[in-house]
Structure 1
Amino acid sequence: MEYTSARVHVASPEDMPILAAAIGESPETVISHHLLTSRACNAWYVGDVRQPRGLIVQAHAFPAEPNIHGFDAEDIAGIIPYVDEWDTFCTPLHLVEGIERAVTAARDTTSLRTVTDIYHVLDSPIVDIPTHPQVRLLTDDDAMLTMMIDELQQTSAYKPIVAGAVSDGEIVSLAHTFAWSPLYVDIGVTTHEQFRGQGMATAAAAIVATEVQKRGKIPVWSTGAHNEPSLRIAARLGFRETSRRLYLIPVEEQLVPMTHEH
Structure 2
Amino acid sequence: MLDPAQTETLARALGDSPETVISLHLLRRGLGRAWVAGTPASPRAVVVEPLAFDLGEPMAFGTDPAEIWTLLAEIDDWWCVNVAPGVANDLAARIEDTTSRPVAFEDDIYLTLRHAPSVSIHPCVRRLASIDLPLLLSASAGFEPSGFAGWEELIAESVAAGAIANGKMVSLAYVSAASPGHANLTIATLPAHRRRGFATSCAALVVGAIVAAGGIAVWSAGASNAASLAVARRLGFAEVKRRVYLVLGDDACREMERTNPPPRSGGLSALDADIGHCTILP
TM-score w.r.t. length of structure 1:
0.86
Q: Which residue of 1 aligns with 2:248?
A: 250
Instruction: Report the secondary structure of 1:204's partner residue.
Output: helix
Instruction: Report the secondary structure of 2:157's partner residue.
Output: coil
How far is the alpha carbon of 1:110 from its aligned partner?
A: 4.1
Q: Call closer, same or farther: CA 1:172–1:38 in 2, change over 3 Å.
A: same
Identity of aligned residues (%): 32
Q: Call closer, same or farther: CA 1:152–1:246 in 2, change over 3 Å.
A: closer
**Aligned counterpart in structure 2 of residue 154 of structure 1, from 129, 145, 148:** 148
Compare relative contact order (CA 8 Å, sep 6+) and give the higher one, 1 or 2. 2
| The 10-residue stretch of structure 1 (183-192 or 79-88) with the greater mean CA deviation from structure 2 | 79-88
| The 10-residue stretch of structure 1 (117-126 or 177-186) with the greater mean CA deviation from structure 2 | 117-126
Q: Call closer, same or farther: CA 1:36–1:105 in 2, change over 3 Å.
A: farther
| The 10-residue stretch of structure 1 (79-88 or 146-155) with the greater mean CA deviation from structure 2 | 146-155
- Work out which of the two has the higher radius of gyration on C-alpha atoms and give 1 or 2: 1
Mapped pair 1:167 → 2:159:
no
Mapped pair 1:38 → 2:36:
no
Contact 2:18 2:112 (8 Å CA) reproduced: yes
- Aligned mates of 1:49, 1:243 — CA distance in 2: 25
Q: Call closer, same or farther: CA 1:73–1:244 in 2, change over 3 Å.
A: same
**Aligned counterpart in structure 1 of residue 92 of structure 2, from 76, 95, 100:** 100
Contact 1:115 1:248 (8 Å CA) reproduced: yes
Gaps of 5+ in 1: 1-10, 254-262
Q: Which residue of 2 aligns with 1:136?
A: 126
Gaps of 5+ in 2: 252-282
Mapped pair 1:29 → 2:20:
yes
Q: 1:38-77, aligned counterparts within 5 Å? A: 38-61=29-52, 62-77=54-69
How far is the alpha carbon of 1:13 from its aligned partner?
A: 4.0
Q: Call closer, same or farther: CA 1:144–1:241 in 2, change over 3 Å.
A: same
Aligned length: 241
Q: 1:168-187, aligned counterparts within 5 Å? A: 168-187=166-185
How far is the alpha carbon of 1:190 from its aligned partner?
A: 0.6
- Aligned mates of 2:30, 2:90 — CA distance in 1: 29
Q: Call closer, same or farther: CA 1:247–1:174 in 2, change over 3 Å.
A: same
Q: Runs of at least 4 residues of structure 1 off by over 4 A?
A: none
Contact 1:13 1:39 (8 Å CA) reproduced: no
